[in-house]
């Protein structure tokens, strides 16, 4: 019985020893971690002290800037107050002069309305005159067109009459030319004579020439018959000539 208890105590003692050894290891690790933690805390404290000093320096600088801003703000406020006082005086002056200004504007509006009415009356009168002028212009235009049509008709009649007279003269010339040709042939002449009708009167061309009508519409004898082209002669006379 006692042996069993002793064995149990030994086993318990061994287990406790193992637990103690494990606790020693844990304690050693914790001690190492605590040492590192202490070092980190000291390092962090050093960094924080530096940051605090920087913050203190920055705060002092910002305080100086803030004091300067406060001074500038005070100066600006005083300047604005002076301007407000000046503007208030100006507003008071304008307010006192506003009734007179309003009266002047009302008077000017009345004058302008009178002038506008006068202009409207003048414009209406001018419109009546313009309408009358338009009517007269239309009537004159129609009358002129009628006169132009009449003149054109008379001119056409005169041109037709003149053309008829020219045709009659040409017919007479043709008959006279034929008569002259017949007279030449009846004399037994062996030479061939070309008769040429002129604008006024008539004549004849020698054998080697031909009757031509030039650009000025004058008839004349020109060129050698059979050798001269119509281009060098102008425009050939229609068959108004005979042998």
- The residue extents of the domains of the chain are 1-98, 164-236
Assessment of whether the complete model's pTM goes beyond 0.85: no
Which residues have C-beta within 8 Å of that of residue 99, sequence separation ≥ 6? Answer: none
pLDDT tens, 93-117? 877 777 887 888 888 888 888 888 8
Cβ count near 221 (within 10 Å)? 19
CA–CA separation, 50 and 202 (whole Å): 139
Cα separations in angstroms, 220 against 49, 149, 200 = 135, 40, 11
What confidence score (pLDDT) does residue 242 get?
Answer: 41
User: From start to end of the chain, where are the E strands?
Assistant: 194-197, 202-205, 210-213, 219-222, 235-236
What confidence score (pLDDT) does residue 223 get?
Answer: 46
Which residues have C-beta within 8 Å of that of residue 191, sequence separation ≥ 6? Answer: 207
pLDDT tens, 16-40? 777 777 777 777 877 778 788 888 8
Cα separations in angstroms, 193 against 159, 188, 211, 221 = 35, 12, 11, 11
For the chain, residues with pLDDT lower than 50 are 187-210, 213-219, 223-243
Q: Which residue reads 């000093």 in tokens?
A: 53
């Amino acid at each position: 019985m006692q042996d069993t208890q002793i064995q149990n105590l030994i086993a318990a003692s061994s287990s406790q020893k193992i637990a103690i050894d494990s606790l020693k290891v844990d304690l050693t690790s914790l001690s190492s971690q605590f040492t590192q933690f202490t070092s980190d805390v000291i390092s962090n404290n050093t960094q924080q002290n530096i940051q605090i000093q920087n913050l203190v320096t920055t705060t002092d600088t910002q305080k100086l800037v803030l004091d300067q801003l406060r001074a500038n703000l005070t100066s600006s406020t005083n300047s604005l107050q002076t301007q407000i006082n000046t503007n208030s005086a100006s507003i008071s002056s304008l307010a006192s002069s506003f009734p007179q200004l309003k009266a002047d504007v009302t008077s000017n509006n009345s004058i302008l309305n009178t002038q506008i009415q006068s202009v409207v009356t003048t414009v209406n009168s001018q419109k009546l005159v313009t309408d009358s002028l338009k009517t007269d212009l239309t009537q004159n235009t129609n009358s002129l067109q009628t006169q132009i049509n009449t003149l054109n008709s008379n001119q056409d009649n005169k041109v037709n009459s003149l053309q008829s007279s020219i045709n009659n003269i040409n017919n007479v010339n043709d008959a006279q030319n034929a008569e002259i040709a017949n007279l030449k042939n009846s004399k037994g002449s062996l030479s061939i004579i070309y008769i040429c009708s002129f604008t006024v009167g008539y004549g004849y061309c020698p054998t080697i020439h031909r009757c031509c009508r030039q650009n000025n519409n004058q008839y004349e004898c020109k060129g050698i018959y059979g050798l001269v082209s119509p281009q060098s002669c102008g425009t050939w006379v229609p068959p108004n000539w005979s042998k």
